[in-house]
Structures are given as C-alpha cells and as structure tokens.
Amino acid sequence: MTDAFYITTPIYYVNDNPHIGHAYTTIACDVIARFMRLDGRPVRFLTGTDEHGQKVEKSAQNHGEAPQAFCNRVSQRFRQLAEALDISNDDFIRTTEDRHVRATQAIWQRMAEAGDIYLGSYSGWYAVRDEAFYGEDELTVDAAGNRVAPSGAPVEWVEEPSYFFRLSAWAERLLAFYEANPGFIAPESRRNEVMSFVRGGLRDLSISRTTYKWGVPVPGDPDHVMYVWLDALTNYITAIGYPDTDDPLYRTFWPADLHVIGKDILRFHTVYWPAFLMSAGLEPPKRVFAHGWWTNEGQKISKSLGNVIDPFELIDTFGLDQTRYFLMREVPFGNDGDFSRRAVVMRINGELANGFGNLGLRTLSFIARNCGGSLPEPGALAEADRQLLAQAEACMGGMRNAMGRQAVHQALQYWNDLVSAANKYIDDQAPWALRKSDPGRMGTVLWVLADTIRQIAILAQPFVPAAAARQLDQLAVPADARGFDRIGAAGALAGGTALPKPEGVFPRVELPDEEAGAQG
Ligand code: ME8
C-alpha cells in the first residue's frame, strides 16, 4: 500500500514524570496522524516508553523501588498523558515487553552476522543524563569547573569490556544515503548539521555495558546488557512485528514515513539508527523531523529552576483543544519557542474565540433567529460567494502541502486566513441588512457561510478535535461525512436541513487579575 503512513514519537524515558516537551512532540504527531487519516490514508501511529538503561535504573534506586515496578508506575503516567491529550495512537510500546526484547536481540544478531560487531573495551566519557558517549574533544567545562557534555549533562569516566558497532565503516554509506534522500533529515539546517558531523569521520560505537544490569542481555554473552539507544531505537520496528518481516504490519508500514523527535536526539536517529538498520539488512526510515525546544517565560526549563510545565495542569487551566492549538500555532515547527501564559490567552481569544468560535456562533444564531432553525436554500451564487467557497477548497490543498512537510504552523495559517475571510464576508454581505430588502439573497449568504464553516470545522479536526466535532454537530454533519473527501461541493450542506440550537465552541479566557496586572 503506497499511501500507508507510519508515524512515531520518541519513546520517553520513565526516569521522571511527563512534562510539556513530551506533550508537545506527542501532540504534533497526533495532529499529523489525524490529518493523514482524515485524508484517507491508512495510518499507524506509535508512542511509548523507554525503560532500560542507567538513567532509569538510578532513578528507580533513588525512589527506593525495584526497576520494573518503577517503570510500570511511571510508564502509566505517560499513558495517562496520552489519554488526557486525546492522542489517537494505535499502539503504546514499552521496551521491557517480551516482544521488544526479542526484536532487539534479533537486530543485534543480524548486525553481528554482517560482521559489524566486535568485542573490545571502552574507556571514555559517558553522560548518564543523555545516555551518550562523548569524545574528549566534544566536552566543555561548566561554571563550577566540571567537564560537561555539549548538552550540559555531567560526564563520568567509564572503562569496561564492551561490544562495538563498526560505525566508522558506515560514514561513506551514510553520506551516500543522505545525498540520495534529501528529505531524510528535516529541517534543512539539521540536515547540514548531521552531514558535517558525519563528514568529520565516525568512531566505532560502544553498544554494550557491563557495569549495570538494567537492559536487554546481549545474545550469547549475558554479562553484557545492550546500550540503551540500540534497544530504544529498535522499538520502531518491534511495534510492527520485527523480527517477523512478513508481518502484515511490517510489510505495510516499514520503512516508517516519519520519526518526529526533539533536536536533542537527532544524532541517534539520523546517524546510528540508519546505520544499524542498513547493517541488519533493513531499510532506513523515510524521514526524521527534529523540532525545537520550549522555554518557559524566557527561561530554560529545568527541574533545578523549578519551572517545569506540567501538561496536565495546562489542560486544566486552558482546556485541551486550546492547549493543543497553542503549541501547534505559536511556533514554526522546527524552531525553538517560548511558552508564556499571556501568549496562550492571546491565541485563544484572538483566533479560537473571536475568530473561529465567533464565526460559527454569529452565523448559526442568526439562522436560528431568522430562518426558523433550518438552513436556507441557496439561490444563484454571486462572485463573492464563489470566491469564499473557492478559498475553502484551496485551503485544503495548502494545508495538505504544508502538513506533508510538517509545516504545521503554516497549515494553521491557511486555516486562519480562511476564518478571517469568512468573518469579512459576513461584514461585507451584511445579512442583517438583507433580511427585509432581499431575503432570498440573505438565504444564499447564510448558506455560503454555513457551508464554509462546515469546511473550516472539517479542516480543524486534527488540531482541535473536540471543538471541531461540536461545530460539525451544530451543522448536523453526519459522522461519516467529516473526511477531507467532503471538502468542496462533494459535502455541500443541503438547504432545509434542521439545525440544533447553536452554542459557542470556544469561550474567551481571562488571565487571573494579578498576572494580567503584573505583565500588562
Ligand atoms: O530522549 N521542548 O527520552 P526523553 C520540546 N528515551 N521538546 C522537549 C523538551 C523541551 N523543552 N524536552 C523534551 C529520550 N522534549 C529517549 C528517546 S527514542 C528511540 C528514545 C521532547 O524522555 C523531545 O521530543 O528525554 C525530546 O526528543 C524528547 O522529549 C526526549 O524525551
């Protein structure tokens, strides 16, 4: 099936509770997955938790819990987050599941059979927080005089027997792969970053550890556990049936269409992962998109600063659709962004309440009051009517193109332009003035508006699923007529349809007084 679409989030470490960064990546993937489904594509959407490695083991110890019990508990929080965000994932993978241990040992064996794994000993720097090895030349010294990784994570010296993956032998093949697949790494700036890193030469990669136990045992040498990143990356194929490459899911969905990740884990996904796969005789994914990082009111988010944003609290404060919309709209996908409560309120009031919400409410209330609660029959269309309806159809094309490039913010820009055009159309056509002078024309204007709102709501579904559904309910659009194939004349509303009592779908929100005062 050529139009099948497989999209994944990173699997999240269970060392700590979910925060806004996790919610962001997951929402972005959900928006893209919903979009593709509405566009008629068979979609597989995967998320889950990364449960092995030293970082998780230490965290379990700090909590005084056995590692598996600890993982069960924190993994459950990530599931709850997915539910609270109304995420439409098809599967939720945990790396401590049997299916995953099998897949990870199988890929190891394929890589070993290919001659890419050898036993040696590692001595060098390791950052537990990043679960990453670093060369001396990559380290810097922090304000307190300690050596730190480029991410700022503390490093420790490690010396132990280790299996290695012959990554050095893959540099040329990786570069050839990037050249042949210009869309593999996005955005473009990230592609350049990765290519220059690989051009600089690659060292062989340590892929097993002997100084802790919380991992997948290396086949044939249980003194070693696998490096957590080899284990973690393999989740993307475990979940579609690997090592059974004849599994219908594997056959339909591999290679993955899109791994969405944060910019912090680019190297693992665009250097190690395709090399592991090619070594094992498997195809690399089609695309890896790295998004940026959020700061909180201008400050880096960190536990020590105490400014971690709890996504559950955001949903309670602003509402789920509002939170989803803000995160997707505020920042061009791929760039860093700043979270501020004031900015959330401005987006909600400006675009959701005054823009989309008000458009539906003013149109449908007018119909309820003046047309006996049913949709008027349209007469002949005027130029302005045709223009607005044409813009709705063009909006679909623009959004499809943008979403295909993960330009999520741009898709929402097209959508907002359509909302603005519809609001302007009401003011220009002034149906209230036509009520006495030309009721036939008034009916046509209201029908054009209602059918435009229908299309706006259909297009809004991936982003604000609950509010879009309420708006479509108010237009009496049946559940099976809400796909993107109904954009344009194919789904046009029938005149005479009885409409339910209109209600607003997005109330305005206010900042608590002291915050508004302090900042305004
Ligand atoms: O890295 N802004 O897991 P993790 C935006 N287990 N996104 C952020 C963010 C921020 N401030 N902080 C985190 C891991 N993220 C590995 C992945 S995949 C095979 C294994 C998001 O729990 C972003 O998507 O540290 C980042 O890539 C992810 O959380 C890291 O989550």
CA distance 311 to 315: 6
pLDDT of residue 520: 35
Nearest to 133 by CA among 157, 152, 116: 157
User: pLDDT by residue (tens digit) across 445-463?
Assistant: 999 999 999 999 999 999 9
pLDDT of residue 519: 44
User: pLDDT by residue (tens digit) across 374-400?
Assistant: 999 999 999 999 999 999 999 999 999
* Nearest ligand 1 atom, CA 269: 19
What are the beta bridge partners of residue 218?
Answer: 221
Joined together, the tokens standing for residue 296 give 């909180």
Residue 68 pLDDT greater than 80, yes or no:
yes
Give the closest residue (by CA) to ligand 1 atom 9.
Answer: 21
Binning pLDDT at 50, 70 and 90, where does residue 510 land?
Answer: confident
CA dihedral 315, 319, 322, 327 (to 10 degrees): 0
User: pLDDT by residue (tens digit) across 354-366?
Assistant: 999 999 999 999 9
pLDDT of residue 518: 46
Are residues 497 and 375 in contact, defined by beta-carbon separation less than 8 angstroms? yes
pLDDT of residue 513: 59
Among 9, 11, 12, 273, which is best to mutate for testing ligand 1, by the most ligand atoms less than 8 A from CB? 12
Q: Can you give the three-state secondary structure of 94-144, one letter per residue?
A: ECCCHHHHHHHHHHHHHHHHCCCEEEEEEEEEEECCCCEEECHHHCEECCC
Binning pLDDT at 50, 70 and 90, where does residue 192 land?
Answer: very high
Residue 109 pLDDT greater than 90, yes or no:
yes
CA dihedral 31, 37, 42, 46 (to 10 degrees): 20
User: pLDDT by residue (tens digit) across 22-66?
Assistant: 999 999 999 999 999 999 999 999 999 999 999 999 999 999 999
* 163-172, 278-287, 304-313, range with the lowest pLDDT: 304-313
Tell me: ipTM over 0.85.
Answer: yes
Binning pLDDT at 50, 70 and 90, where does residue 148 land?
Answer: very high
CA distance 226 to 421: 56
Please state whether the peptide bond connecting residue 161 to the residue before it is cis, i.e. omega within 30 degrees of 0: no
H helix and E strand count, the chain: 21, 18
Does 265 sit in the ligand 1 pocket, CB within 6 Å?
A: yes
CA dihedral 53, 58, 64, 69 (to 10 degrees): -10
Give the closest residue (by CA) to ligand 1 atom 7.
Answer: 21
SS3 at position 283 = coil
pLDDT of residue 517: 46
* Nearest ligand 1 atom, CA 235: 19
Does 24 sit in the ligand 1 pocket, CB within 6 Å?
A: yes
User: pLDDT by residue (tens digit) across 77-104?
Assistant: 999 999 999 999 999 999 999 999 999 9
DSSP H or E stretch at residue 185: strand 185-186
Across 233-250, average pLDDT: 98
Q: How far is the CA of 201 from the centre of ligand 1 (A)?
A: 26
Share of the chain above pLDDT 90, in %: 94
Q: How far is the CA of 141 from the centre of ligand 1 (A)?
A: 24
pLDDT of residue 512: 66
Are residues 125 and 136 in contact, defined by beta-carbon separation less than 8 angstroms? yes
What are the beta bridge partners of residue 184?
Answer: none
CA distance 421 to 449: 10
Across 300-315, average pLDDT: 89
* Nearest ligand 1 atom, CA 294: 2
Does 25 sit in the ligand 1 pocket, CB within 6 Å?
A: yes
* Nearest ligand 1 atom, CA 295: 11
Residue 498 pLDDT greater than 90, yes or no:
yes
Say what angle helices 439-460 and 465-474 make with each other, to 10 degrees.
150
Residues 6+ apart with CB under 8 A from 450: 363, 364, 367, 375, 475, 493
Does 309 sit in the ligand 1 pocket, CB within 6 Å?
A: no
User: pLDDT by residue (tens digit) across 327-353?
Assistant: 999 999 999 999 999 999 999 999 999
Strand order in the sheet with 217-218: 208-209, 221-226, 217-218
pLDDT of residue 303: 78
Q: Give the predicted TM-score (pTM) of the model.
A: 0.97
CA distance 323 to 344: 8
Say what angle helices 320-329 and 465-474 make with each other, to 10 degrees.
110
* Nearest ligand 1 atom, CA 301: 11
pLDDT of residue 83: 98
Does 231 sit in the ligand 1 pocket, CB within 6 Å?
A: no
Question: DSSP secondary-structure letter at 350?
Answer: I
Residue 14 pLDDT greater than 80, yes or no:
yes
Does 285 sit in the ligand 1 pocket, CB within 6 Å?
A: no
Among 14, 24, 307, which is best to mutate for testing ligand 1, by the most ligand atoms less than 8 A from CB? 24
Does 11 sit in the ligand 1 pocket, CB within 6 Å?
A: yes
